Structure 1
Amino acid sequence: MNTLARLGTGFAAALLEAWQELRIHKLRVLLSLVGVTIAVASLTTALAGAGMARQMMTESLESEGRPAMITTYAYDPRSDGGPQGGGPVAKAFDKTSERFKIDYTTMIGRNYGQQVASQGMALDAEVLVVEPDYAPMHRLVMAEGRWLETEDAQNLSPAVVVDQNVIKELGLEGQRLPLTVDLMSNGNAVSVTVIGTSTARSFGMSGQLWMLPATYEHWFSGQTPLDEVSYKMWVPIEGSEELAMRFGQQLQAELPGFTVESHRQDYLMWGADESLKQLAMVVAGIAVIILLLGSLSLLNVAMVTMKQRIREVGIRRSFGATTGRVFFSVMMESVVATAVAGGLGVLISVALVSNENLLSMVLATELDQMPGFPLDAALLGMGVSVAVGALTGVLPALVAARVKIVDAIRV
């Protein structure tokens, strides 16, 4: 305990001495640490920005389905159309899903030939016929109102959710939900009730509209059949490909005469995660360059300054300071200074990255779920600043430790 107490007292004394030296040499410290502050702020901002860019890319990719996403199609050879849905296919899919104990499933039917109209304005929209599980499976975030529920199929007016493109193009921004618009197909118009709006996901199309299968079956199937039907399942990544194969085999047994395809289909299978890894590597390379520039600048200033402090070191040695004490105190000056500079750099980074207006300008888009400032980026910024201080303080400390008292006093 006594040894630990002495070590702790010595360390605290070295820190205090280093702080006093920094106060004495304010101008020198300020000039030498400007580069470190900028470097740490740049490094932390780059890492935090990369995290947000990764979040944005992930949100964009997961709009087509979160990993692992299994997609299933059922084709009827007696029909000239595409994948079939509803009726026996829907029943067989539900039965097979229950057998495999799959929690998240949805039918996805698409229709591209309908228009949404309101107050004399109209636009083409992609109609998606989906079940309530669709939203969590596709990272669909509500901007206003709520998502579809099973009970909405019983509403006297068809309940729908639209994306913000529809609201914007129809001039309905600022109006409170629910509101009524017309869904038109083959010259017929049906009034539907918008119960929620989502963030824009149409990617260049005019807009998207979602409704429940029962709603579409009751109000629209007789007028406009669906152009494409598929069934999706969100399952754990491990073993998902084998599960897709077994699920397809079982569904095929439930649908004699049909041709069934079932396979995993998500961005991890497309190799999109490689672009995320490449982004991380590019940011890491930039961070290393920033760190080298900041450390070289600090080392240069520290070496020049130490040559001017030779007499000061000699006087300290003449009053009994040991070689180890001189080495440690000189190195700690650099560590304490860079720690302060690193803390300031992290604060600057937090202020920049947390500015929503600035982020909107840089990313040119909005994140559905704005992440907080990455803690690992802040900790890494502080750790790097301390490490840089230790590394750049070693050479000046070695120079100070090798100073001979007689030679130093002669200077």
Structure 2
Amino acid sequence: MTGFIAALVEAWGEFKVQKMRVLLSLIGVAISVAALASVVGVGDLVRTSMEQKQEVYGGRTATISAYLSSGAGTPMPGAREAFRELATRYGLQYTSSKEEGAGEFQFPDGVRRTMMTRIDPAYGVIHRTKLVKGSWFAADDAQRLTPALVVNEAFYKAMGRPDLNTQPEIKLLGTTEKTTVLIGVVPDEFQPAQPQAFVVSDVALEPSPYGGRLNFEVWVQPDQADTVMQALQSDLSAVFPKASVDARRADFGARGDPFAPIQWGISGIAGLVMFLGILSLLNITLVTIRYRVREIGIRRSFGATGSRVFFGVLMESIVATTIAGIVGVMGAIILVKNPWLESAIGQGMTEFPPFPISAALIGLGAAILAGAIAGAVPALIAVRVKVIDAIRF
């Protein structure tokens, strides 16, 4: 242990003596580490961005969708209650029913038939619903005397973009006219988009014309997905023997990791960048060791063993590249967490991830590895030099 500490102190002293040469030789290592960590960090940001965009449609990992159909296109009374009983029995936290239908709203320019989706408040969490304005549904919104609506931007534009603070109202026409209040606006899914409205499933509205088909969604941990999926399939089939039940995963990871090829490609580019940095450093250390042959010969003549010389030269390189690695990782963090870069790559993201620890560890580990490789070869050369020849050099 004492020898190791002594070698570190000696390496640090050599670094201070040769700081200009070392700094110049390590510029390439710092740049390579910064590029390596930045590539891995940006790759993680791209991956997270793609995951979140997929989760808007299919749900988070792992989301199970159970489709319940009566076959005859008629409503199934008690379906939501039965599903909620099952969710309570299994201890499922994030669950939502989903039923798509249509309704006629009285817009300023006339009546429009609009797509309506009945959901539960947890739907917003499952699908990472991002709000442009206003707020999402609360747990007690089903008890409101005036039903609350969350609409897309196309619906909001057709209403004339009213101020949500004034609690703008719009009439839902039908057998009995219903006044609804707008509380939130979500982005359009596609362009051009048609008006779309979301309403809490327990709100008393006219039955949907698609009342014969219900979709129940559950967000669970990936290792629970198969068990919960089979339980929903069997239990819903038992409760509704005449209905068709189809439970399956709907999230992007249902068929494996779709982003693995991207990660492999990014890793290959990062590895190539670091390999070029190691070659550059190795070339510099091989040249500089020739100018230290006499110094090494004198140290050997005063009793320094071959292993001590080898370890000393090796540690000089590792200490220097470690410092360069820290500088490179700090530069990568500044680059990747730049707000402009995050907004450019992560458009539509609801949560920006922190700089990945793996990228910092990979960058720092690559710097240490580069120092070990670039220091081992010159160290072997230094050990093999004969003392008398070195002194005469």
TM above 0.5 = yes
Structure 1 pair 100–351 and aligned structure 2 pair: CA distance change class (3 A):
closer
Paired with 2:32 and 2:104, the residues of 1 have a C-alpha distance of: 54
> Residue 286 of structure 2: which of 285, 298, 303 is its match?
303
Matched, 1:347 2:337: no
List alignment gaps of at least 5 residues for structure 2.
none
Structure 1 position 128, deviation (Å): 1.9
Give the counterpart letter for 2:356 in structure 1.
Answer: P
User: Does residue 250 of structure 1 match 2:235?
Assistant: yes
| Pairing partner for 2:66 from 66, 72, 86 | 72
Q: Per-residue displacement from partner, 1:316-373 (whole Å, max 9, x unpaired)?
A: 2233332222211211111111111111100110101111112222x16142111111
Partner of 2:375: 393
Q: Distance in 2 between matches of 1:168 and 1:325?
A: 76
State percent identity of aligned pairs. 33
Which shows bigger deviation, 204-213 or 38-47? 204-213
Q: Are the aligned partners of 1:111 and 1:126 in contact in 2 as well (CA < 8 Å)?
A: yes
In structure 2, the residue matched to 1:381 is 363
Equivalent residues in 2 for 1:127-206, closer than 5 Å: 127-142=116-131, 145-163=134-152, 172=161, 177=165, 179-180=167-168, 182=170, 192-198=180-186, 200=187, 202-204=189-191, 206=193
SS at match of 1:274: coil
Unpaired stretches in structure 1, ≥5 consecutive residues: 1-6
- CA spacing shift, 1:38–1:126, aligned 2, 3 Å: farther
What is the alpha-carbon distance in structure 2 between the residues aligned to residue 128 and residue 295 of structure 1?
57
Would you say the 8 A contact 1:178–1:194 is kept in 2? no
Partner Cα distance (2:149, 2:65) in 1? 24
Q: Is the 8 A contact 1:240 1:264 kept in 2?
A: no
- Correspondent of 1:21 among 11, 14, 18: 14
Shift of 1:17: 2.5
**CA distance in 2 between partners of 1:395 and 1:122 (Å):** 81
What secondary structure, in the 3-state scheme, does the structure 2 residue paired with 1:21 have? Answer: helix
CA 1:208–1:305: 2 relative to 1, 3 Å: farther
Per-residue deviation, residues 205-261 of structure 1 (Å, max 9, x unmatched) = 62653211233x33xx26x634863222334444644543443343334335x3222
Given the superposition, is the C-alpha separation of residues 309 and 269 from structure 1 closer, same or farther in structure 2, using an over 3 Å criterion?
closer
The match for 2:250 is 266
Contact 1:37 1:342 in 2 (8 A): yes
Deviation at 1:385, TM superposition (A): 0.6
The Cα of 1:298 is off from its aligned counterpart by 0.5
- Alignment of 1:109 with 2:92, yes or no, is no
- Counterpart position of 2:31: 38
Partner of 2:311: 328
The normalised TM-score by structure 2 is 0.85
The answer as to whether partners of 1:70 and 1:234 remain within 8 angstroms in 2 is yes
Tell me, in whole angstroms, the C-alpha distance in 1 between the residues paired with 2:158 and 2:333. 36
Number of residue pairs the alignment of both structures matches = 389
Task: Indicate conservation of the 8 Å contact 1:247/1:262, yes or no.
Answer: no
Corresponding residue of 2:267:
284
Q: How big is the shift at 1:288?
A: 1.6
Distance apart, 1:94 and its partner CA: 3.6
**How far apart are residue 55 of structure 1 and its match?**
1.6
Give the TM-score, by structure 1 length.
0.81
1:178-211 residue CA offsets vs partner (Å, 9 max, x unmatched): 642536678x99653333345x361446265321
CA distance in 1, matches of 2:158, 2:279: 55
Structure 1 residue 379: deviation in Å? 2.0
Q: Distance in 2 between matches of 1:121 and 1:17?
A: 84
**Structure 1, 278-287 or 300-309: larger mean CA deviation:** 278-287
1:90 maps to 2:83: no
